Amino acid sequence: MKKIHNFSAGPAILPSQAIQNSIEALKNFEGTGLSLIEVSHRGKEFVEVMNNARKLPLEILGLGSDYESIFLQGGASLQFCMIPFNFLNSKASYLKTGVWASNAIKEAGLLGSTQVVASSEDKNFSYIPKNYKINEDSDYFHCTSNNTIYGTQMHSFPECKIPMFCDMSSDIFSRKIDASKFDLIYAGAQKNMGPAGTTLVILKKSILEKITRKIPSMLDYRVHLSKESMYNTPSVFAVYCSLQVLKWIKDKGIEKIESDNRTKQQILYNEIDNNEFFEGTAMVEDRSWMNVTFVLKNEKHTEKFMQLCKEANIVGIKGHRSVGGFRASLYNALEIESVNALVEVMRNFKP
């Protein structure tokens, strides 16, 4: 079978062994003679899957027993609502760096007062704001670590005296970070951790003490934690496949993953910066390692470039519909070979 170079922004490329293990589980899960998607989620075999899937993120991030993790549904978009439902009592501070950050602000605004501490909207979200002040009387500060549409990424995080929450949907487990700086981390699985259908939420236990209002059960973090992600039927397949990816991440090691990701983005950005026909769209100091956004200096050549990519078995390279251009997503499972394939097409491109 021909090699396909998958640069899709999400649902995104996954490690082949995670896909293969999931296929086998669909046929015969843990020797039960039943498919993974046929067994009871409360059976001992799947309970063990869920327990392991909840433990591994904490282990990989170096977090201790003062943190817990849960798998929920609804994607990061539901977290935009759940976070203020649980924690916004008077006002909250948000960093506005793109579409998803803007959506989070919009949802929080339905439940209380929000303050945008800084925004990069003035330059079409092409940079990450710096030197902003976080009001210490806010209930929490929320940021988005990586912006898939605009190709920017937070390469450092502020010192924060109030609870700090972060949407890490598109760059979780891609580099070594001090995860203990955060009181809540969440990530839709389909970008860098698994298939669509489940969302990882990591919480510092002490933050739960700040919940004061009555909340519908499905929106209450305490309910989901007390039921160990089993309050309602979880996305069985998505959790299982995410566990396979987490095992792959653990075996490979964050240091090696970060090193590979650094190499991949350097190769591609170097070509963009030195190729007379292309240019990047994000400010250099804030360029994303996960989502490389770029354009042709002359848009009339777009169709030809896309055709050459197709002939080279490169897929998922088209930019988000709201901004156009091109976007190469360099998630953990993408091999350097694929980046080299794209660079070769760009290097040989002649309008």
Contacting residues for 192 by C-beta, under 8 A, at least 6 apart:
12, 169, 170, 171, 172, 173, 174, 290, 331, 332
Domain boundary among 252, 270, 295: 252
Q: Which domain holds residue 138?
A: 16-252
Tell me the per-residue pLDDT of 170-202, one tens digit each, with 9 for 90 and over.
999 999 999 999 999 999 999 999 999 999 999
pTM: 0.97
DSSP 127-149: S---S----TTSS-EEEESEETT
248 plus 265 within the same structural domain: no
168 plus 288 within the same structural domain: no
Tell me the per-residue pLDDT of 244-273, one tens digit each, with 9 for 90 and over.
999 999 999 999 999 999 999 999 999 999
Of residues 100, 139, 220, 289, which has the active-site annotation? 100
* Closest listed residue to residue 194, CA positions, set 266, 233, 249, 152: 249
Answer whether residue 1 shows pLDDT above 80. Answer: no
Position 2 in a domain? no
129 plus 140 within the same structural domain: yes
Active site residue 191: yes
244 plus 272 within the same structural domain: no
Position 217 in a domain? yes
Domain boundary among 252, 278, 299: 252
Of residues 139, 167, 171, 286, which has the active-site annotation? 167
Q: Which amino acid is present at 202?
A: I
Position 314 in a domain? yes
- Angle at which helix 336-348 crosses helix 254-274, to 10 degrees, equals 0
Of residues 96, 171, 183, 191, which has the active-site annotation? 191
Q: What is the CATH number of the domain that holds 233?
A: 3.40.640.10
Position 87 in a domain? yes
113 plus 51 within the same structural domain: yes
242 plus 286 within the same structural domain: no
Active site residue 183: no
Position 325 in a domain? yes
Counting the structural domains of the chain, the total is 2
Tell me the per-residue pLDDT of 121-153, one tens digit each, with 9 for 90 and over.
999 999 999 999 999 999 999 999 999 999 999
- Calculate what percentage of the chain has a pLDDT beyond 70: 100
117 plus 209 within the same structural domain: yes
* Closest listed residue to residue 333, CA positions, set 248, 243, 226: 248
pLDDT band at 58 (very low <50, low <70, confident <90, very high): very high
